[in-house]
Amino acid sequence: MEKIRFGIIGGSGLYKMDVLQDIREVNITTPFGAPSDAVVTGTLDGVRVAFLARHGRNHSLLPGEVPFRANIWAMKSLGVDYLLSVSAVGSLKEKLAPRDMVLPDQFIDLTRQRSGTFFGAGAVAHIGFSQPVCSALSELVARAFDDCSLPDATLHRGGTYVCVEGPAFSTLAESQLYRSWGASVIGMTNMPEARLAREAEIAYATLALVTDFDCWHPDHAAVTAEMAIGNLMHNAI
């Protein structure tokens, strides 16, 4: 099997990449079950890329149902060294408006029910995770954004992503608590994904697409699924 060094995991609203050429679907079996869907491989500007829809191409998986270990294992088995996660998030800061994009560099993991490591069952190991995001990969994404010269798009570099269990959105008290921590955005899927990527020795970065102000903003309605999808579709266009 060919080695594919670059992988993309698409979150809500990103279920396929029409720009890929020479497409093949690869069904991968892992020790942790099947990934969210078949991995789609193709060529983008002459570079071989592997794409996986995190929730399945028909969005059939809740955040807590995503087989994170199988997904990362599948990417690793293809030879992926660099993995970009594209994820929908809510904003916890005034300056991060819906339809903006963020490159977080830190995570707070508040998930409770997910299998979050490849280790165990006799494999005793610990990883360094103080810097969970690959700064070089994030910088490449930022430079690619700048090269696109998108007049109506704003990219923010850095920030903390709070990952909650879901599928419920935050209470007002929770949203205000996360803001008091200095967190930037809130989502449901980047953990344990980022940690598993580190265990698999895959460089990881997140492109977070802001869809709403969660529920803390006095001048904006609390987030709904319809609101989030609407803003995601705008970003896709």
Active site residues: 212, 214
Strand partners, 48: 43
| φ and ψ at residue 155, rounded to 5 degrees | -115, 130
On the question of a cis peptide bond just before residue 132, with omega within 30 degrees of 0, the verdict is: no
Q: Which of 119, 125, 114, 107 is nearest to 205 (CA)?
A: 107
By the 8 A CB rule, do 7 and 229 touch? Answer: no
What lies within 8 Å, CB to CB, of 142 at 6+ separation is 103, 155, 157
**Cβ-based burial of 5 (10 A; exposed 0-12, middle 13-18, buried ≥19):** middle
